[in-house]
Amino acid sequence: MKKIRAFINNSNISKFRFYFQIAAFVLFVYGGYFYVTISEKLPTFACPFNKGSGGTCYLMPLQHQLHMTWSRFIGPGGIHLLKGFLVFACFGLVFSKAWCGYLCPLGTIQDWITKLRKVLHIRFSKYGETTFKGLKKIKYILLFLLIIIPLGVSNSLLWLPKFSHDIFPPFCKICPGRIVLPLFTGDTSQIYIDFSTKTAMTMTALGMIVTGIFFTGSFFKKRFFCLFCPMSALLYIFSKVAILRLNKNVAKCTRCGNCYRVCDVGIKEIADDVINKNIVKDDCMLCLKCVEACPEEGCLEVSFFNIPVFMSTETGFFKRYCLRNEIK
Amino acid sequence: MNEKAKIRLIIEVKKSLKEIMDDFSDVPEEMGYFYERFRAFFEETPNNGKKVIATMCIHVPVELIYAVGAIPLRVCSGARSMAEIGEEFFPAKACPLIKSTFGALYLNIFPMAAAPAMIINPTTCDHKKKIGEMAEDIDSCFYTLELPPTKETEEARFYWHMVVKKLAKELERVTGQRLTRKKLKAAIGIVSLAQAQLRRLYNIRKGNPVIWGNNAILVANAYFFDDIANWTDRLSRLNDELEDRARRNQYVVGQEAPRILLAGSPSIFPNMTLPVMIEQMGGIVVAEEFCSSSRSLYDMVAVDEWSLYDMIPAIADRYLKPGICPCFTPNIDRKRRLLNIAGDFCIDGVIYNSFAGCQLYQMESRHVEKILEQNGIPMLYLETDYTSDNTGQLTTRLQAFMELLQDQKS
């Protein structure tokens, strides 16, 4: 048992993650062809517009279920919404943010783009702390909008006229997943701008623009789109109570900042927070690179059902970061 | 004057080394190499035409120096004779470490008879800040490395990144060699191997004592001037021997000896009075919180993308973020680190030494004492300098503290 534990702790989880992501990508993008349908309430961007999806993103049914008149909320519509959310919550409670780091196909594509940039020896871009904090708020705004707009399509909000149905489903219209993921199954039909009405044109054009930003952004900044992802905001609800956790033994932290350095989404608290034990933040995708980069024995630890499954070790750090570039 | 001072220094070195070698028995065989290094402290060593870059503090990123094909040499001095020379330049109550270091610089006396092409001086304490302005008194080219006064903010971090980048450029200019991705990666590798061995030594010292604390301090001190590959190799052999000793339960002192953590101003050879005295009185120094030993090599560089663009900031971060020098404000990390060491090394008592004149260490001592007290760890505060004037009083206070710890243990 001790040996197995040491083997896991000293292993290169990033490599494991790379292959795991490929497997998950195949499952979520091509699984449908093999009659795999895991669920329609997945907390990950497996896009329903892609015919091969082996399970689909929860944001789509969420928007549809919110698209109803107030009266239907107290009745079958409400129950339906609640049931959907409970299924989604179950997924979120088990794997928490690991959905983002290990399973999300859109996240995987961004990691591949980063790999391409590294091969080309092109620099990444840097942000000031304040810019970064400002950008991060966008995902909460998007989450708010994707809830409020479907309500506004079926109801009059604040005595305003109802929104045009052409705006629906609002997030899917602007989500790059809708355009990018079908491409992997040879479906280019999502690349379009709908000129039928003004609203439709705005929304589909926005979708194209966001897709453009998605590619350029994630080329220069790791996991760029994840900063704005409303799913990430929604999953954050469960991270404090989820079964899969990232814990920090704060007494052991030297605040060397290695974890912050390697963090793809630039979470500063992981290095600076020496009060909280549960260290999963809203942008975290549980990729566990921080655990790999921590040279302090047992300072960062991943637990499942309170059983530690992977923790930072001195030996592991040297194996991963130093001895491999031994010269002479 | 130069010759006379040099002779006095050599006598001092010999005396200090002799005391350690004579008074402590049962030392590991592999210590022989390190004793020999100190015996040959001033003998010229060949360096294959490589330029020597002197550093005055642990906040100098040595990886950059290795990467431009030069050799770092830490010139912080523990010699009383040199402090006496330095007295001419500093106020009476200045720190002896600075006086001694500056004295040696003034006389051009360097370990290994080196002639540094450049002296990098980080602006840590007030003394170091002002020493940069006294550069006209010495021959060597002085370079001021602007260390920010805090390490908490992103602003400080980015400022430091720029400072380190500037240093990299200056090093390229001085050595005439270009800093490349490959060379820097190799340099990080070389230093990390040394770090791995030093960390191993600390892990060994967490258990029952198989090495005298003063010996361990000497080993870390040798890193100041020794060839890094040799040093790493020798330390690895020493570690093998120590691990072997631990397996055979061959300890240098019994279980009853109080385990001491030495904190504060560093003991730099030949100023080994404090650790030697503690261990002569039946204690054992199992850990030091010194910039001359544990802190110099402990923290690791973690690079995300192996390009110069990311490597240089990664190295810069390693020399700023985990720093616990009292020159930083706030410096809560130092107290946290001390508590962590106290737990890991099963410390019975902390001896906090501050050089007379080091206000930063003096001012932090009260906070440290309070926090240690809250955690039930006794602390003795001492103020020393390089002279032996107050040895009598020092002995009495140390003896009383040791007795207290021994009583607590039994």
User: Average pLDDT for residues B37-46, to the nearest whole number?
Assistant: 86
Q: Do residue B333 and residue A255 have CB atoms under 8 angstroms apart?
A: yes
Nearest partner of B159 among A128, A262, A267, judged by Cα: A128
Q: Are A174 and A207 in contact (CB under 8 A)?
A: yes
Mean pLDDT in residue range A69-76: 88
Mind listing the pLDDT tens digit for each residue in B242-266? 999 999 999 999 999 999 999 999 9
pLDDT the model gives residue A324:
55
Tell me, yes or no, whether A103 and A74 share the same domain: yes
| Spatial CA neighbour of A306 closest among A216, A232, A233, A246 | A246
Answer yes or no: is B68 within a domain. Answer: yes
Tell me which of A234, A253, A282 is where a domain ends. A234
- Low-confidence winner among A37-41, B212-216, B276-280 (lowest mean pLDDT): A37-41
Contact residues for B234 (Cβ-Cβ < 8 A; gap 6+)? B30, B33, B34
Is B180 within 8 Å of chain A by CB?
no
pLDDT bucket at A280, cuts 50 / 70 / 90: very high
Half-sphere exposure of B30 (CA within 13 A, CB side): 20
B175: its two tokens = 């050595």
Does A230 share its domain with A254? no
- The pLDDT score that the predictor gives to residue B288 is 95
* A106 occurs within a structural domain: yes
How distant is the Cα of A154 from the closest Cα of chain B, in angstroms? 47
B10 touches chain A (CB under 8 A): no
Cβ B128 vs Cβ B326: under 8 Å? no
Structure tokens of A161?
């006229």
For residues B311-344, b (16+ Cβ closer than 10 Å) or e, as one string? Answer: bbbbbbbbbbbbbbbbbbeebebbbbbbbbbbeb
Residue type, B101: T
CB atoms within 10 A of CB A85: 17
pLDDT of residue B46: 81
Signed CA dihedral, A280, A283, A289, A294: sign only: negative
Number of domains in chain B: 1
Is residue B86 in a domain? yes
Alpha helices in B107-153 (DSSP H): 126-131
| In-domain check, residue B84 | yes
Are the beta carbons of B300 and A123 separated by less than 8 Å? Answer: no
B182 in contact with A at a CB cutoff of 8 Å?
A: no
Residue B155 exposure: Cα atoms within 13 Å on the Cβ side: 3
Q: Which residues of B touch A251 (CB under 8 A)?
A: 336, 339-340, 343
Instruction: State whether A266 and A321 are in the same domain.
Output: yes
Give yes or no: residues A80 and A187 share one domain: yes
Task: Decide if B300 touches A, using CB distance below 8 A.
Answer: yes
Q: What is the CATH number of the domain that holds A278?
A: 3.30.70
Does B156 reach chain A within 8 Å, measured CB to CB?
A: no
Are A256 and B333 an interchain contact pair (Cβ–Cβ within 8 Å)? no
Query: Which phi and psi angles does A269 have, rounded to 5°?
Result: -60, -30
What average pLDDT does the structure give for chain B? 93
Query: Cα distance from B280 to chain A (closest Cα, Å)?
Result: 32
The rounded distance, in Å, linking the Cα atoms of B33 and B39 is 10
Let me know whether A215 and A247 are in one domain.
Answer: no
Q: A298 lies in which domain range?
A: 243-325
B236 CB within 8 Å of a chain A CB: no
pLDDT for the residue numbered A327: 41
Are the Cβ atoms of B196 and A322 closer than 8 angstroms?
A: yes
Query: B182-238, pLDDT tens digit by residue?
Result: 999 999 999 999 999 999 999 999 999 999 999 999 999 999 999 999 999 999 999
Candidates B189, B333, B339; nearest CB to A322:
B189
User: Does A45 share its domain with A106?
Assistant: yes
Other beta carbons less than 10 A from residue A206's beta carbon: 14
Residue A44 lies in a domain: yes
Chain A CB contacts of B336 below 8 Å: 251, 253, 274
Alpha carbon A311 to chain centroid distance? 22
| A75 in any annotated domain | yes
Q: A209 by DSSP, 3-state: which?
A: helix
Q: Which residue has the tokens 């890193």?
A: B223
Q: Are residues A122 and A139 in the same domain?
A: yes
Contacts of A314 in chain B (CB under 8 A): 199, 203
**Pairing of the two strands A244-248 and A300-304:** antiparallel
Contact between chains at A325 and B186 (C-beta distance less than 8 A):
yes
Is B121 a domain residue? yes
Residues A189 and A247 placed together within one structural domain of the fold: no
Strand partners, B55: B74, B120
B128 within domain boundaries? yes
List of chain A residues whose C-beta atoms are within 8 Å of the C-beta of residue B189: 322-323, 325-327
Interface contact B80, partner A, CB < 8 A? no
Q: Is the pLDDT of residue B135 over 80?
A: no
From the candidates B321, B324, B337, B344, which should be mutated to test the interface with A, based on the most A CB atoms within 10 A?
B321
Q: How confident is the model at residue B171 (pLDDT cuts 50, 70, 90)?
A: very high
Do A158 and A226 belong together in one domain?
yes
Residues near B390 by beta carbon (within 8 Å), at least 6 away in sequence: B384
Phi, psi of B368 (to 5 degrees): -60, -45
Confidence of residue A74 (pLDDT cuts 50, 70, 90): confident
What is the share, in percent, of chain B residues with pLDDT greater than 70? Answer: 100
> What is the residue-wise DSSP string for B242-286?
HHHHHHTT--SS-TTSPEEEEEES---TT--HHHHHHHHTT-EEE
Q: How confident is the model at residue B133 (pLDDT cuts 50, 70, 90)?
A: confident
Q: What is the pLDDT of residue A328?
A: 36
Domain of B166 in residue numbering reads as: 2-26+50-172
Token pair for A14: 């990033």
Q: Is residue B292 part of a domain?
A: no
Is the pLDDT score of A23 beyond 60?
Answer: yes
Do A168 and A140 belong together in one domain?
Answer: yes
Quick one: pLDDT at residue A131?
A: 85
Residue B1: other Cβ atoms inside 10 A: 8
The tokens for B159 are 């400022």
pLDDT digits 0-9 by tens, A42-66: 999 999 999 989 999 999 999 999 9
Total count of residues recorded for chain B:
410
| pLDDT for residue B393 is more than 60 | yes
pLDDT of B1? 66
pLDDT in tens, B317-346: 999 999 999 999 999 999 999 999 999 999
Contact B154/A at CB under 8 A: yes
- Render pLDDT for B154-166 as a digit per residue (tens, 0 to 9): 999 999 999 999 9
Which of residues A201, A234, A267 is at a domain's end? A234
**CA B166 and chain centroid, separation:** 25
Does B365 fall in a domain? Answer: no
The chain-wide mean pLDDT, for chain A, equals 92
How large a percentage of chain A has pLDDT more than 70?
A: 98
Is residue A3 domain-resident?
Answer: no
Indicate if the pLDDT at residue A325 is higher than 60: no
Q: What is the CATH number of the domain that holds B143?
A: 3.40.50.11890
- With respect to residue A8, please indicate whether it lies within any of the assigned structural domains: no
Distance CA A205, CA A192 (A): 8
Q: In this predicted structure, what is the pLDDT of residue A140?
A: 95
Give me the number of domains chain A comprises: 2
Are B196 and A123 within 8 A, CB to CB?
Answer: no
> How big is the A-B interface in CB pairs under 8 Å?
84
| B394, pLDDT greater than 60 | yes
- Structural domain contains residue B112: yes
Q: A131, A133, A258: best mutation site toward chain B, by most B Cβ within 10 Å?
A: A258
